[in-house]
Each structure stands twice: as structure tokens, then as C-alpha cells.
Chains A and B, each alone.
Chain A
Amino acid sequence: MRNRSASSLFITLFLTIGAAISFFPIYMAIANSFKTQGEMFQSFVALPSAPTFDNYVQAFHKINMLSSTLNSVIVSVLGIGGIVFCAALAGYKLSRTPGKASAAIFFLFVASMLVPFHSIMIPLTRMANSLSVQGTTYGLALIYIGLGVNMAVFLYHGFVKSIPRELEEAAHMDGCGEFQTFFRIIFPLLLPITVTIAILDFLWIWNDFLLPMLMLTDSDHYTLILSTNTLFGEYNKEWTLILASLVLTAIPVIIIYAFFQRFIMEGITEGAVKG
């Protein structure tokens, strides 16, 4: 018994040290973002003696916090909404339709999940350019839909199998059209997998860097991450300012994490198991 509590203590100690190391960079960023440049160089590890918000005020303006956040929100909401709408329709129908055509289309969607983004970024950029969707937040959202539907179709396709057909047949008897049946009866039943898809796509789109960098040229359209990247490049040595901007950029996701932690973790597990 004593042996067991000793090993239990050891495990807790081990995890605590690990957690401290894991939290260290975040602590560093937060603590030093409240210092002046001079105070920071005296000691990085110490807590700020007289916390200043100057860095935050500056960073807030430099990364256009409000408009950048708004851009990120627009891209994420439109992207996720579009993916859910398009993929639910397609995944449902493909799952319910027997035959070669349906199977072939489904195979195309699934096979494309293996294509690395970096393998298509060159032709994709040219395509976006020739369709004039390059350079706008709405165009960016459209591209996210195109890139994201394959996995969502796959997940919906699998989930629909668990919904009994009798429901649709009954609705059909009552004179519901196909689309009406889908939106009134089926789509609400897809909610669990819709939440999973929305979460996975949110983590992807909100935190994505390379696609916005390739697509957006005007800083008015920059997403939060892109604005911070620009600031990082311009203020090379002003660490207190940079750290404040990093913390600002991290705040929205940390808030979402605090509220939706359970859903996020379930979403990841669900997406992984089905994937």
C-alpha cells in the first residue's frame, strides 16, 4: 500500500513538471508582454514589477485587432457553414444512392484526402487568380469550402448509414419533397457529426497560415494570424510588442477552448475514429 502511494506521488510529480514545462512558453509570453523592454532584459523569468499595458495598446493597433479578428471570423464562419451545407447534402445523397456513379464520386472525394496541400498550392494559386477569388476574405472562404468538403463528405457519408430509412419514407408518404425531407428531417439528426466537423474545420481554418498568406495581399483583408506574422517580420527586436501581439492572437482560441473544451476533445476523437 505504501509502495502504491509512493508511485502515485511520483506520477503526479512527473506530470506537474511536464505541465510546468508545457506552460513555460505561454507564461514567458504573458509575463514579458507586460514589461518594458528594459525591465524584460533584466530578467525574463520574473513577474512584471509594474505591469504596463503599453505593449498591448500598441499591438492592438499594429495588428488591426478588430478588423483582423473580424476577417478571421468571416472566413471561418463562411467556410464552416459552406462545408457543412455542401457536404451534408452530398454525403447524405451519396450514402443513400446505390450504383457506380455514386460510388465513383464518393471515391474521388475520399481519395483526394491524401493530397497534401503543398502539392496543389501552385496550381491552386493560379486557379484562384484566374477566377478573381484571390485577395478577398470571401474568396478565401470559398477555397476553404473546396478544400474541406472531402473530409466532411466522408464523415457525413458514414454517419447517415446509422439513420433509419423509414424516416424518409414516412416523410415522403406525407408529401415532403426530397430537399424538404432533408432539411426538416435528416439534417437535424446529423447534428452530432455536424458539431464534430465544425470543430475540426474551425481549428484548421482559424489557425491556418499558408493559404491566407498565398491568397491575401491587401493588409485590410488579413486574418489575425497573418497580421501577427507581418508584425513579427517588421518589429524584429521589439520582443515586448511581439509577445503582446502573440498573446492577443491566442486569446480568441483560448476563450473558445475554455468554453468548448469538452466538445473540442470529443470532436477530435470522433473525427479520428471515423477517419
Chain B
Amino acid sequence: MPMKGVLKRYVSLLAFVAPAFILYAIFLLIPTIGGMYYSFTDWNGLNTNYQFIGLDNFVEALKDDPDFVHSLLFTLKYVLYMLVLQNVIALLLAVLIESRSKSKGFFRTIFFMPNMISIIISAFMWTFVFTQVLPQLAEKTMFTFLDQSWVGDPKFSFYAILIISLWNGVGYMMIIYLAGLQGVPQSLMEAAIIDGANPLQRFMKVTLPMITHAITICFFLTLNGAFKVFEVVYGFTGGGPGRSTQVITMNIYEEAFSNNFRYGYASAKSVILFIIVLIFTLIQIAVMKRKEVEA
């Protein structure tokens, strides 16, 4: 009888979990494992013959592939800028919007709206603004600094890419910060006011500690999203000029789908991306969790 009960429990578990697990295994789990497996081989994607070459692919990517290393550094720089700017701007907007009474809903609607538009569509819209509108605006007004080679010069492209990403992404974080701010108890604020704390002190000593959870989430989301940046760059510069604005995902994409059928090598690059995201995420979670406990 107990034996039969255990069996029945497993059958019922299987019946409920199978639909999700099968699709998950086919399209996520097996590809993940397969990618890791091929990253240690010299497979070209076509031949049935391939050899294990150990860590050669990884060594080559990090040592002998300047384009890949450049894309890696470019992405890291992008991630750092995004992490700071996206969160600072989103939090600033959230705090200011939360302080409004009548216009709160209006501003929230406007600032979140860009987030609804697909990133690739955003990139096309901004391409128009950067390549057509701004040069003319510079010509007709005194804002001559607007006339830059936004697409042609990687130095300026970087900032343009940042602006597009922020335009698209800030709204999402702002919503999360707004929800966090609403969780700050009014009584604490009033107590701080009575104690004579100025607005800045109130923000630093009361608001910030009360919304650490929201900060953790937004840092996590920004970090995760920024490492995977693809569409903005694809739509705006296409990685160019040359490969100067190529991000890591584009480098993998190019390696795998456009030129030389080095599946094993491209897989190794994919694994490197995975490891980097994993390390940064774990560090971030560890640091933030400790902060949250303290607060």
C-alpha cells in the first residue's frame, strides 16, 4: 500500500509537470547543455566529425580575438553606464513624480510610454532623430553641439546608444521605484520632519533604506538586461563603423550566423557571456542581500 501510494504520487507529479518540463527541456535545457558541450569542440556545424579541443576555443576568444575582447569591453562600459544612469534617473523621476499630487498620473504615463515600444522600433525612431533632425536643429538654432556624427563616430555612438537605451528602459525601473516609494510609511516621514531633517536628509536616511529591496531588483534587472544588449546597437549602428560599437551578443551572432560556421568557437563565446552574467549576478545578489539585512 505505501509503495503504491508513492508510485501514485510520482505519476501525478509527472502528469502535472510534464507539459512544461518537456518544452522547457527541448528549447532551453538541452540547448544550454548542448552549447556548453560544443564549446569544447571544433565543430563547424555541418560535419559529423569533430574533435574535443579542451579549452582552446576559450583561450582563442580571450587571447587572439581582438574583436571579441573589444566587444566585451565595450559591453562592460555600457553596463556600468547603464547601471548608474538608469537607476539614478529612474529613482529621481520616481521621487519627483511621487511628490506631485494632481499631475502624478500624467507624468507616470508619459515617462513609461517609451517602454511599451519595441527596442528595435525605438532604435529606428532615434536613428531618424540623430541622423536627420539633430543636424538640422543644430543648423537652425544655436545648439551646434547637436550636429555630431552620431552613427559614424564610435565615441558619439556610444552616448547615442546609451540615450536610446535609457529612453526605452528608465520607465520600467521608475514603475518599480514608485511602488517602493509607496511602501515608505508616512509616519516615518513625519517623524523625520518633526526632528528637523531637511529633504535631502530625509531621502538619504529614511527613503533609501526603506526601498533597498526595490534598488536590489532594479540593479538586478538593469545588469541582466544591459549585458544582453543587442537590438539598440543592431538597429542604430549595426555594430559599426567597422566593429567599433559591436557588443558581445552581436559578436556571437556574427560568429554563429553570418560568416564562418565555427559553431564550436561561437558556442565558447556564448558560454563566456553566460559565465560573466552569472558572476556579476551572484556578486550583486550577495552584496545587496547583505545590505538589505543590515537595513
Contact = CB atoms under 8 A, between A and B. Distances in A.
A75 interface: no
Chain A interface helix/strand/loop/mixed? helix
Contacts of B121: 225, 228, 246, 249-250
Contacts of A115: 28, 32, 274
B111 A112 contact: no
Contacts of B129: 24-25, 28
B188 interface: no
A14 interface: yes
A119 B271 contact: yes
A124 interface: yes
Contacts of A203: 116
B124 A44 contact: no
A217 interface: no
A257 B17 contact: no
A265 B111 CA distance: 12
B24 A225 contact: no
A138 interface: no
A268 B90 CA distance: 15
A18 B111 contact: yes
Interface in B1-32: 9-10, 12-13, 15-17, 19-21, 23-24, 26-32
Chain B interface helix/strand/loop/mixed? helix
B136 interface: yes
B273 interface: yes
B110 A122 contact: no
Interface residues of A, number: 90
B93 interface: yes
B78 interface: no
A222 interface: no
Contacts of B234: 209
A93 B17 contact: yes
B229 to A, nearest CB: 10
Interface residues of B, number: 87
Given A116-B274, A118-B270, A105 B17 contact: yes
B186 interface: no
A127 B30 contact: yes
Interface string A181-192: 010000000000
Nearest to A10: B96
Contacts of A123: 30-32, 34-35, 38, 267
Nearest to B108: A265
Nearest to B129: A25
Interface stretch (B54-62, B147-155, B172-180): B172-180
Contacts of A145: 23, 27
B230 A118 contact: yes
A1 interface: no
A149 to B, nearest CB: 5
Closest 9 CB pairs of A and B: A146-B27, A93-B16, A207-B118, A86-B20, A90-B20, A123-B31, A146-B23, A269-B179, A119-B270
15 contacts: A15-B96, A28-B129, A43-B140, A44-B137, A90-B19, A93-B12, A115-B274, A125-B257, A207-B118, A210-B230, A229-B235, A246-B124, A261-B112, A268-B176, A269-B175
